[in-house]
Structure 1
Amino acid sequence: MDISTQSTEAPPPAPRSSGATRKSAARGATRPGDRVFLALSRGSGILLLVIMAAIAVFLTYRAALALSKNEGNFLTTFEWNTGLTPPVFGIAVLAFGTVVSAIIAMALAVPVAVGIALFITHYAPRKLGGPIAYVIDLLAAVPSIVYGLWGAIVLVPHMNGLFGWLDTYLGWTGIFSWQDGAPRSMLTVGILLAIMILPIITNVSREVFRQAPQMHQEAALALGATRWEVIRMSVLPFGRSGVISASMLGLGRALGETMAVATVLSPSFDIQASLLDPGGGTFAQNIAAKFNEATVFGQDALIASGLVLFVITLLVNGAARLIINRRKEYSGANA
């Protein structure tokens, strides 16, 4: 074989990887607008971290001043007397009330919100779905105090029938026993919070369901699936991460709601075995009720309870992020 006939051309260069391409593109972004946008984006992220760190430092410092003089166990004491000498206060009742009311709200709101979102996006005709979505958007803009006034004037007086029914048929459980007291209890607070967070979860879930791949739905229909089977196999797996994110937004509002809870609840520093008996309290409600009349030390004690709420919120959001990351490959968002 003649060596001179062999091609002496060099092989074509291997294509660059997409990661290298993105890095080179980022380094090559020399336009002034690109540089300004990159600086603003990076600065916004750093500023957010600085603000969160500043809030954490402030809460920790003021909480340490109060806890250093507290004679009770901050986590287990069923009392809040910052005016005593020495002061005694704890968050056992507040933590219980905050968690229980938020759980009730989420248990009631999430299934209804997901159902409304699916109805608007996949069942209702456009002429009906549009007005329903518009009304839900309006509900999301209603101030908390308006919900609180509505709860005190309308919801609480009409809870007697529900409480009586629960006591008659489920009172044997102890959780739903009722002593004919005023229906200003944890269950009433949970129902009000569920109404308040319903628009938030519905709106976000609705937008996520609308982004479900149309080709997946058409393929399922072509294979003979019913509309519910299409939703179960295509829409819900795709929107799972979005529904979790929407639920965390609603949970954040439920945990930190102040005026509506303070308007409806009859607070007391004891834990009732029944959800229908008056009493209990939440972090936000206790802070709103006592902050104006508190001394400097009392404000430090309230800030200490706010620090606990801050930590609970961070843990909830962190848990939601872990769930979303674990489910991301099954959501269909990367298809």
Structure 2
Amino acid sequence: MNATSLPHTPPAPSGRDVRDARADRLFRWALTGVVIFVLVALASAALSMLWGGRDVLASQGLSFFYSADWNPVENRYGALVPIYGTLVTALIAMLIAVPVSFGIAFFLTEVAPRWMRGPVGTAIELLAGIPSIIYGMWGLFVLVPVMTVYVTPWLNDYLGAIPGLGVLFRGPPLGIGMLTAGFVLAIMVIPFVSAVMREVFLTVPTRLKESAYALGATKWEVSWDIVLPYTRSAVIGGVFLGLGRALGETMAVAFVIGNSVRLSPSLLDPGTTIAALIANDFGEATETYRSALLLLGFVLFLVTFVVLAIARLMLMRLARKEGT
């Protein structure tokens, strides 16, 4: 019989191959378990808050989510005011933080001398480690007097007279309010967003920027036409990361927002957010009121989830466009 016609017998796996396959399976199972644990923990947290707020949800119905009437004495609860305050303060924070963060990131990557980039970047990143209560105290004792004496009167005199838009900038010179809370949140968010932008700006190939400079482009044109399009997806992800941070902030906002559950279109009037209202009232809440606060926590979970889901959809759409 010809030797080539003999059936081929695969070699037996060695002991190392068996150990590697076993370790790979264990590693895959461990990672799967971690993912399942995180998903179960998130679902458990959301469902526990929903279960805790079942009494108020049964008595108020869907009106809880769009009513502005918050009166614990008469057991009437509506989440519109804290939802409005949460979204408005986060929006103010991002309107301030995103351009400032972009300027910081571009300065550190393109404009600043090399000896300055490290110390300045480290100093800005260290701001992220300051406890939020410190920001709240700074806002109450430093920013609020500045808003009372200088900013609020100027806004009332100049922007408050604008038809339509002026209603946002008319209010008493108290210094506390949603605008002040937005400023404090912006300062807290800037280190996160600028750090992400700085890291992704460093990934832009040098040859692209040098080619643009060689063609006579200015630094602004390079940043707008080269750096931002190249890092667009990562920048949007960093912005929404900062937005998630702003939506859930508690102590810093509670110091400067005024903690009022009255709905007002003015940014200068006191207001409240979901997190601040829960932090202020949960310790002394009665059983029914505690149920309403737990349901508010579920609403905050939904708001954050929706925001992050929108961010994910935007990133997927951008990735699809770039792929095509």
Shorter-chain TM-score tier: 0.7 to 0.9
Normalization by structure 2: what TM-score?
Answer: 0.87
Query: 2:149 matched to 1:156?
Result: no
Normalization by structure 1: what TM-score?
Answer: 0.84
1:155-183 residue CA offsets vs partner (Å, 9 max, x unmatched): 10111201111111111122112333x11
- Amino acid paired to 1:206: R
Task: Indicate if the aligned counterparts of 1:220 and 1:230 stay in contact, CA closer than 8 A.
Answer: yes
Per the alignment, do residues 38 and 216 of structure 1 end up closer, same or farther by CA in structure 2, a change over 3 Å counting? farther
Alignment RMSD (CA, Å): 2.2
Q: Tell me which moved more, 28-37 or 240-249.
A: 28-37
Q: Distance in 2 between matches of 1:162 and 1:70?
A: 40
1:17-38 residue CA offsets vs partner (Å, 9 max, x unmatched): xxxxxxxxxxx99444433332
**SS, match of residue 267 in structure 2:** coil
Query: 2:117 matched to 1:125?
Result: no
Partner of 2:27: 37
Per the alignment, do residues 29 and 116 of structure 1 end up closer, same or farther by CA in structure 2, a change over 3 Å counting? farther
Partner of 2:66: 76
**SS, match of residue 175 in structure 1:** helix
Partner of 1:293: 284
C-alpha displacement of 1:79: 3.0
C-alpha displacement of 1:94: 0.7
Partner of 1:57: 47
**SS, match of residue 276 in structure 1:** coil
State which of 243, 247, 272 in structure 1 corresponds to 2:264: 272
Alignment map for 1:220-235 (pairs within 5 Å):
220-235=212-227
Specify which structure has the higher proportion of helix: 2
Q: Distance in 2 between matches of 1:175 and 1:57?
A: 37
Task: Indicate if the aligned counterparts of 1:72 and 1:88 stay in contact, CA closer than 8 A.
Answer: no
Per the alignment, do residues 291 and 282 of structure 1 end up closer, same or farther by CA in structure 2, a change over 3 Å counting? same
Unmatched 5+ residue regions in structure 2? 1-17
Count of aligned pairs: 302
Partner of 1:217: 209
Partner of 1:171: 160
**SS, match of residue 270 in structure 1:** coil
Q: Distance in 2 between matches of 1:209 and 1:264?
A: 34
C-alpha displacement of 1:88: 1.0
Q: Distance in 2 between matches of 1:122 and 1:329?
A: 29
* Overall identity of the aligned pairs, in %: 44
Partner of 1:284: 275
Q: Distance in 1 between matches of 2:309 and 2:156?
A: 38
Q: Distance in 2 between matches of 1:236 and 1:101?
A: 26
1:276-301 residue CA offsets vs partner (Å, 9 max, x unmatched): 12x22110010001100012322111
C-alpha displacement of 1:90: 0.7
- Amino acid paired to 2:306: L
- Amino acid paired to 2:120: I
Partner of 2:197: 205
Task: Indicate if the aligned counterparts of 1:237 and 1:330 stay in contact, CA closer than 8 A.
Answer: no
**SS, match of residue 165 in structure 1:** helix
Q: Distance in 2 between matches of 1:83 and 1:166?
A: 36
Partner of 2:7: none
Q: Distance in 2 between matches of 1:330 and 1:130?
A: 35
Per the alignment, do residues 104 and 49 of structure 1 end up closer, same or farther by CA in structure 2, a change over 3 Å counting? same
**SS, match of residue 89 in structure 1:** coil
Unmatched 5+ residue regions in structure 1? 1-27
